[in-house]
């Protein structure tokens, strides 16, 4: 209910130009109610992304089971693409469009980084558990690098016009070199 109101207002006035009060007024509720449904104004930008990201841990486990003796790097790569498959050319998340639209908007960047780091911790734990001890640096670096590449791809994808195609295509191309690099540098780790 609040999502629809905010979507309208973001189109009319952009994210930064819209206040929580305006959103709640249009939705016919009070300002206080807003925070019963969203912890922050910026959460509105991420509903789609968060929904997709919610499937990432699951996809990670699935891919780990499915893949026989492939490396953890491959598992992450596959799980990432699986999550991206949910995003076709149609619905670009608000977060991406608004980011291109107004670059530096404080809250947007804060919310983006917090989500990024959450996923990074997930991947770090996953690969860290599958590489020996003393691999914190490699795990964390790989996690953040591969997710950054994916984020870069999402940005390019969003910037591209209507015929942008599927997100997974972009992400696949972007993360492949990163995965290749870590595969050859830290070889022979099973995912099972």
Q: Give contact residues for DNA (rule: CB under 7 A).
A: 18-21, 29-33, 35-37, 39-42, 106-107
The correct pick among 32, 69, 90, 106 for binding a copy of itself (CB under 8 A) is 106
Specify whether the CB–CB gap between 67 and 143 falls below 8 A: no
Can you tell me the distance from the alpha carbon of 183 to that of 175, in angstroms, rounded to the nearest whole number? 12
Q: What share of the chain is helix, strand, coil (3-state, %, to 5)?
A: 75, 0, 25
Query: Tokens 């109610």 appear where?
Result: 33
Helices marked H in 85-166: 94-102, 107-130, 136-159
Can you give the length of the chain in residues?
192
Specify whether the CB–CB gap between 27 and 1 falls below 8 A: yes
- Does 182 bind a copy of itself (CB under 8 A)? Our answer is yes
Q: Which stretch binds a copy of itself (CB under 8 A): 29-37, 47-55, 62-70, 101-109?
A: 101-109
- Does 189 bind a copy of itself (CB under 8 A)? Our answer is no
Nearer to a copy of itself, 56 or 157 (CB): 157
Specify whether the CB–CB gap between 14 and 107 falls below 8 A: no
Q: How far apart are CB 107 and a copy of itself at their closest, in Å?
A: 7
Which of the choices a copy of itself, DNA, none does residue 131 contact, using the CB cut-off of 5 to 8 A by kind? none
- Does 92 bind a copy of itself (CB under 8 A)? Our answer is no
Q: How far apart are CB 115 and DNA at their closest, in Å?
A: 14
Q: Radius of gyration over alpha carbons of the chain, in Å?
A: 18
- Does 149 bind a copy of itself (CB under 8 A)? Our answer is yes
What residues make contact with a copy of itself under the rule CB under 8 A?
104, 106-114, 117, 120, 136-138, 140-149, 151-153, 155-156, 170, 173-182, 184-186
């Amino acid at each position: 209910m609040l999502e629809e109101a905010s979507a309208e207002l973001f189109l009319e006035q952009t994210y930064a130009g819209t206040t929580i009060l305006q959103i709640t007024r249009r939705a016919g509720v009070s300002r206080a109610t807003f925070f019963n449904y969203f912890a922050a104004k910026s959460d509105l930008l991420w509903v789609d992304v968060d929904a997709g990201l919610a499937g990432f841990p699951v996809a990670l486990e699935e891919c780990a089971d499915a893949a026989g003796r492939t490396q953890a790097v491959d598992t992450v790569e596959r799980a990432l693409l699986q999550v991206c498959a949910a995003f076709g050319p149609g619905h670009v998340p608000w977060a991406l469009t608004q980011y291109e639209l107004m670059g530096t908007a404080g809250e947007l960047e804060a919310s983006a980084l917090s989500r990024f780091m959450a996923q990074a911790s997930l991947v770090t734990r996953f690969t860290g558990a599958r590489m020996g001890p003393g691999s914190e640096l490699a795990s964390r670096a790989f996690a953040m690098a591969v997710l950054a590449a994916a984020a870069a791809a999402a940005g390019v994808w969003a910037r591209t016009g209507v015929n942008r195609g599927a997100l997974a295509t972009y992400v696949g191309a972007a993360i492949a070199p990163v995965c290749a690099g870590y595969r050859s540098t830290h070889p022979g780790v099973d995912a099972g």
